[in-house]
Structure 1
């Protein structure tokens, strides 16, 4: 490992928030900023001061928090072409933000200067120099983002260099080369970054977008060629195809290149940070995201599972614990007996001494998946199936029958009612409940029926419900698969049901979700009939 001064600059709260269908509240931004600071991010960009009431409140509130050593950054642009720099509202707002650093962007590309700003190339150079110079007089640190720099360099190299030299002359502490359109290849970023680093006297940074899936690669090659500030977002959130993903960049720097941009022990909180930001953003985490995704270290094929059980290095490029993740063994029709044994061991069953039983379970899994079951996403149903076949299942209640009635009335109202007859704790219970649909009505009725016997049920709630038609060609007679995700507030699990009747498939998945939750919460001392 080498201790190299590569600084991490997070722009999730500004650039990341430009992702379609993503909106952070002030409270969201404060929580994320605190988490970033705790993780060890050096610069946290907050956004445009006074651009809207939300950001005005953010700057007012966040100054009262102690997030050091992280540096809070206000973001804006160079002065407007017709304004004196000291009178420009944007420039004044940046100073009034009263945070640790200011980052401004300016135009590098002659095309943008003339077609977008509608000004002269010479006036643009003055705008850059005067803005940086004035901000440097009023702020301890000024970072200059050279917007569209790589396009600019390829269009008119001489003018592109003049723009960043103007920023350097104005006193910029950092000059960041931006691939704003996200269309530059790593070979180009490598060459251009090296030429700029050799030219400038101030340190250089990189800001990449992901429009051709090269943002992480472009960031890494820029660092290889002398860039010492890395800008990006958590989970790669951002406009269009997103920004450079810090959740990939940071472990690549630390674990692959030996660059300690933050303490190695902090890296163990990376997966937690990724999922925290996803949760606050109300975006489902990408399970296949490198390093931090739920499937990043998942193994499904029987030969792969057998290999990683002998030595995880066979199919894992790092120890997942280094980034706070964990190995996952996936059960499916592709599994071998070793997978079944390994998964059973996770919940306390040792099948290694009974290969015939393991083979029987594997055959049952394969038969069920052939007709539509999907145990990869249904760990709860898988465990219940194994316990049933090994004689270790617990029976919390017994269904006598259920009935669901849906009534559509003349006024347009739709009413759904479910009646359940069930045996629990030696009693026969009949309950009727309403719901906004058949599954919700069944869920409500089941909870009413067994809730008194199992009060811990109140902590178990359904978090997601998915229906998949397995054979579309059969139309309304097709088999459907229902997947239910359930949580107790700490952990989550999946269950599955398959049937030609969607209500029966839903009931199967619903019952599994509740039985698994009760079993999990009660442990070995759970009551059973």
Structure 2
């Protein structure tokens, strides 16, 4: 079985709150979707806005290797000649090999939203589909609100599909537009609908083997992926969705999770093994372009999708990986992670030691584990701070020599007339037997401390020039203590090739910042 993947990230996905793609963004994403192996890419609605019109104009120069590009629009307006409908002409001018037409299937929407008659709606469907088939287009008929319409008036909902089929539509896509149907309803209605239309075709000797069915679900009830899979079980051979499920209201069917389930759980050949290994990269790439943050708990591709924290879990996967993993993360391009926290067992630290190339069986591992538990009780949090964990393991090894040692520091923040708020830091740092005393001004206390420390260390360690801080987060641990609360600081740093995270914790924000900052610099000198 091979299910066709129809990606509508560039159209339906952009209707989600907080999602805004430029034309350049859409072109880049379209090319990446094609390279991944999507079968269809819906580029937008050319009759609705200038951005989508420009996208289709520029997309004509792209050389798609796998995907067929689709332009989306509605059927002709009521009581209008299809040849003269401006929206129909805009779809034609888009020049795509595929045209997707959305049409009403529920009497409620026909009479109260379109404000036309049920019979006119059927003519609108037939005329629009026939128009594009006569011009050589592959036509996808999106039956909007199909499941709600079916429940309201089954006979009319089926009549809208027959109108599209008889006019030559290649695909009949059943849409759960409001996202409120349940998987068992979707499977039952889909199976019945396919049976009815195919039975009718056989009776009249028409296109029984030609018309194919697809599914388009929304996630308002949290079951869009389940509904899509249920429809495939019932006979649909096309699934429409968006990357990571973005879309209107709470989102569309998540095509990332759906295709992984189709491939790994239903033995569907929707993608090859090689393409599947690029899934995590695709999911993260699209969100990077869209300036969105991927949920770390996103199935298959999230950072935490194969993360293990509990000591019992880690002890088990060290013996048999599949004991706490439903699939091998490498199959979807992700990787297993072992987290370190107060819930860790010795296996967590031993795994980390092995990962860092250190002795996992040494007594130091047990000592570090005990220290981590004590520090997390004081407010530290090591799950995302792998660099700080590695440094603790390294420092516990026999013969470890500190690369530098802070003897003392002072940070002053003051308001100076004519210059506004100014921060100045002085540090006294020991490297080998040499003590350096330096000072620097900065935009704030942490910036000043960072600059003063670099000033002291750069003559000894020039490689620090490549290191820079990329993120700085502050978390108040016990807010009930107000200004006396414990503060946790997390710093992300990079040298241009790799990124690492360190953590510090103290009742003094500057001290917490120094801990994270010092760890970050030491890590850069050791391994970065």
Q: 1:165 to 1:349 in 2, by over 3 A?
A: same
Q: 1:293: which partner in 2?
A: 302
Q: Please point out which of 135, 144, 159 is paired with 2:141.
A: 144
Matches within 5 A, 1:127-166: 127-166=124-163
Q: 1:113: which partner in 2?
A: 110
CA contact (8 A) 2:426 2:437 kept: no
Distance 1:454 1:63 in 2: 53
Alpha-carbon deviations, 1:62-118, whole Å to 9, x = none?
Answer: 211111221111111111224321111111111100112111111111111122112
Alpha-carbon deviations, 1:282-323, whole Å to 9, x = none?
Answer: 112211111111111111111111111111111111111111
Q: 2:384: which partner in 1?
A: 377
Distance 2:448 2:87 in 1: 55
CA contact (8 A) 1:95 1:139 kept: no
Q: CA deviation at 1:422?
A: 3.3
- The answer on 1:24 being equivalent to 2:32 is no
CA contact (8 A) 1:190 1:221 kept: yes
Alpha-carbon deviations, 1:484-521, whole Å to 9, x = none?
Answer: 22233443222111000111111211221222133222
Q: 2:252: which partner in 1?
A: 243
- The answer on 1:275 being equivalent to 2:272 is no
Q: 1:460 to 1:89 in 2, by over 3 A?
A: farther
Distance 2:141 2:390 in 1: 55
**Runs (5+) with no aligned partner, structure 1:** 522-529
Q: CA deviation at 1:50?
A: 5.0
Matches within 5 A, 1:383-402: 383-391=390-398, 393=400, 395-402=402-409
When normalised by structure 2's length, the TM-score is: 0.93
When normalised by structure 1's length, the TM-score is: 0.93
Q: CA deviation at 1:410?
A: 7.2
CA contact (8 A) 1:483 1:496 kept: yes
Matches within 5 A, 1:375-454: 375-391=382-398, 393=400, 395-408=402-415, 413-424=420-431, 426=434, 428-435=436-443, 437-454=444-461
Q: Please point out which of 5, 19, 40 is paired with 1:8.
A: 5
Alpha-carbon deviations, 1:436-457, whole Å to 9, x = none?
Answer: x322333333334434544433
Q: Please point out which of 75, 81, 90 is paired with 1:93.
A: 90
Q: 1:72 to 1:393 in 2, by over 3 A?
A: farther
**Runs (5+) with no aligned partner, structure 2:** 198-207
Distance 1:504 1:223 in 2: 57
Q: Please point out which of 503, 506, 527 is paired with 1:496.
A: 503
Q: 1:214: which partner in 2?
A: 223
Q: 1:340: which partner in 2?
A: 349
Q: CA deviation at 1:392?
A: 6.1
Q: 1:511: which partner in 2?
A: 518
Q: 2:236: which partner in 1?
A: 227
- The answer on 1:44 being equivalent to 2:41 is yes
CA contact (8 A) 1:384 1:393 kept: no
CA contact (8 A) 2:350 2:360 kept: yes
Alpha-carbon deviations, 1:316-367, whole Å to 9, x = none?
Answer: 1111111111111111111111211111010110132x3x332211111111
- The answer on 1:351 being equivalent to 2:360 is yes
Match of 1:138, SS state, is coil
CA contact (8 A) 2:422 2:441 kept: no
Q: Tell me which moved more, 418-427 or 232-241.
A: 418-427
CA contact (8 A) 1:110 1:156 kept: yes
CA contact (8 A) 2:364 2:393 kept: no
Q: 2:193: which partner in 1?
A: 196
Q: What number of residue pairs does the alignment pair up?
A: 515
Q: Tell me which moved more, 488-497 or 472-481.
A: 488-497
CA contact (8 A) 1:149 1:179 kept: yes
CA RMSD of aligned residues (A): 1.9
- The answer on 1:480 being equivalent to 2:477 is no
CA contact (8 A) 2:242 2:252 kept: yes
Alpha-carbon deviations, 1:194-214, whole Å to 9, x = none?
Answer: 011112341100011111110
Distance 2:258 2:514 in 1: 44
Matches within 5 A, 1:251-266: 251-266=260-275
- The answer on 1:457 being equivalent to 2:464 is yes
Alpha-carbon deviations, 1:147-189, whole Å to 9, x = none?
Answer: 1111111111111111111111121110111111111100000
CA contact (8 A) 1:102 1:139 kept: no
Match of 1:376, SS state, is coil
Q: Please point out which of 47, 50, 60 is paired with 1:63.
A: 60
Q: CA deviation at 1:12?
A: 0.8
Distance 1:359 1:346 in 2: 16
Q: 1:16 to 1:458 in 2, by over 3 A?
A: farther
Q: Please point out which of 367, 373, 396 is paired with 1:360.
A: 367
Match of 1:476, SS state, is helix
Distance 2:114 2:334 in 1: 46
Distance 1:46 1:452 in 2: 54
